[in-house]
Structure 1
């Protein structure tokens, strides 16, 4: 209970699974007492996941090229076409990295890259089918709406044709990449050459209609207002409402990978190094945690909420487990894009599990569709493979260098 009856009523309704409006979400985000907000969000988590399980994933983010024509101001990873530091990996190198990931227990790869001016639908068909043929056990959770729009434009085909073809080639799930900020004003400010937020969501809706589920993301801290942050999640919830109404998504079948819709929402914080936007991160720790909690209350139709410990740090990642979060994402065996902009938080597998266990939760390894692969109910059941450690391959970190074939291990301590 708080001193404000209106806030009390909204918190109680959200905690009980009722829908809150965007205006109510903004009120909670800006005025609700921190602890009451977190308690209400955690009540949603407990109701949805009464077993107390928090999940994690083992995957590898593999970038096939850093050549990009979009030139987003916040991106430190891309290089313009014909830039001397531009590169593209051959399929053999991508498959080698997939093989390393499988050896370390990965169940998923995220294949992402820039908007290369020459890469149309056929390139992605060849890439996905090659990975599936060599490693059928790997889920391909890759690219995002921006890449789909780009490949369709290169080949002069419709979004629908592009989606159908890359799904047939082996794409299992679409990443929430490229969402950044969906409302028009902040999106044009940070990515003026990118598609609109409405267009981004249109591609997701097409994918959902064809049985591809996806994640949704948001980048906080580039100068957007509080109201624009709420507008972002309102736009996403509207597309999810459509998926539910048309039978593409239902919480009752959230673990069925043959249905579309958004599986999870993942907000993360802008990293200000080595890019044209620069500036300090404008989303504080408290803002991030408050937004995590509001998101859990607001997304009554999205099953999972993931914290971004990679951008906020492991301590904030653990705190988020008390603000409605039920998933801590991945031990990423490779990550280039966010690291290039300054994200230096790393962990080994034991460290990630410890974050979960010391928050009084039960760790469980999941797959792409949140099916539990191994539940570690006691410390004796924890995995002990010391090779499973975050790697880096970043232009922002001394000793890294995007495009290198050999990635140095990071000291997990």
Structure 2
């Protein structure tokens, strides 16, 4: 216990801890001291009790994918009768709806379509920027960059340069899942390695494109592999400083090949959040995924080092396809933050605070702003009925 106390104190004060020490905290530290240390680290890094959120829309341009990840319920193989790709007009229509509801960010994501190379993404990003310059494009991930480079026959660095020039503002942490080799190969044998995923992120950071980092928990990975995932990210962050935030989420078990045989418990998820806050001395923001774990655990996470509750995602199809049913109105999300004794604030992609709601009288009241107001999943459910 003395060793655990020393590591907790050092990490809370901003000192670096090793992967072995992080594993010790994750697996053996008493819950309340772990939470208290993580909350102390949050206060030191963030400097106040403000918790942020963002309004955005996740628009999927295609569900056609050649990668066939075993955890994914969204994709369809090429030539599948349920495969589709939205025309540009539809993507822009959905962007317009998002802007009308106050969104400041759009996430454009989709499958690894066999025909979509760099040229497709240049047209996609430039079209959105031309029509809605106020939207920040926080989109795709290293896996899409690897795929588009292969389709177009160009180097990774050239792909990054071109899509940045076309309007991409920030790279999402998509496709990280689990970075260590054993669980990644089991989940997605056709996807690039974790090391390659990080190499592409590093190349983007060096060209001035920052990003987020993510992790999917609950597919059979060990505690040590979860911590190794964190270590791999932290090593890149030491070199580039390009990760704005870390966002772990939990595997959803419906309609995919894994079928929920293994899942992370809420306690495992909360302990991982606290450990991440203490381990990532070089990553400023920590976001919890109420979308996959529920609003109660999202609220509780605010006492374990989390300073961001992510988005009121006006549209989300991928993890909803796998069973994520948690939804929220903006007023409800703000209420969760307030009742956790935190001050809510709307942010943008760069975590700049756009509006701090210092008192309840400052809270926005537009009940049109709610998650999943329009999703392919919901439309399919209606048709099925």
Q: TM-score range by the shorter chain?
A: over 0.9
Indicate the SS of the match to 1:399. Answer: helix
Partner residue of 1:255? Answer: none
Q: Give structure 2 stretches of 5+ with no counterpart.
A: none
Indicate the SS of the match to 2:51. Answer: strand
Question: How does the TM-score come out when normalised to structure 1?
Answer: 0.91
Cα offsets for 1:301-360 (capped at 9, x unmatched): 001000000000000000000000000000000000000000000000000100100000
Cα offsets for 1:30-74 (capped at 9, x unmatched): 000000000000001111223210000000000000000000000
Following the alignment from structure 1 to structure 2, what is the Cα–Cα distance between the partners of residues 388 and 106? 9
8 Å Cα contact 1:14-1:20 kept in structure 2: yes
Following the alignment from structure 2 to structure 1, what is the Cα–Cα distance between the partners of residues 63 and 103? 23
Following the alignment from structure 1 to structure 2, what is the Cα–Cα distance between the partners of residues 37 and 31? 10
Matched, 1:333 2:314: yes
Question: How does the TM-score come out when normalised to structure 2?
Answer: 0.98
Partner residue of 1:316? Answer: 297
Aligned match of 1:9 in 6, 10, 29? 6
Cα displacement (A) at 1:282: 1.7
In the comparison of the two structures, how many residue pairs are matched? 383
Cα displacement (A) at 1:394: 4.6
Partner residue of 1:268? Answer: 249
Q: How does 1:13-412 map to 2 (within 5 A)?
A: 13-243=10-240, 249=241, 261-391=242-372, 392-395=374-377, 399=381
8 Å Cα contact 1:296-1:305 kept in structure 2: yes
Structure 1 consecutive aligned stretches of length 4 or more whose deviation exceeds 4 Å: none
Partner residue of 1:257? Answer: none
8 Å Cα contact 1:264-1:302 kept in structure 2: yes
Following the alignment from structure 1 to structure 2, what is the Cα–Cα distance between the partners of residues 112 and 346? 20
Indicate the SS of the match to 2:381. Answer: coil
Q: Give structure 1 stretches of 5+ with no counterpart.
A: 244-248, 250-260, 403-413
Cα offsets for 1:374-399 (capped at 9, x unmatched): 00000000001111011252548863
Cα offsets for 1:61-108 (capped at 9, x unmatched): 000000000000000000000000000000000000000000000000
**Higher share in helix:** 2
CA RMSD of aligned residues (A): 1.2
Following the alignment from structure 2 to structure 1, what is the Cα–Cα distance between the partners of residues 379 and 47? 41
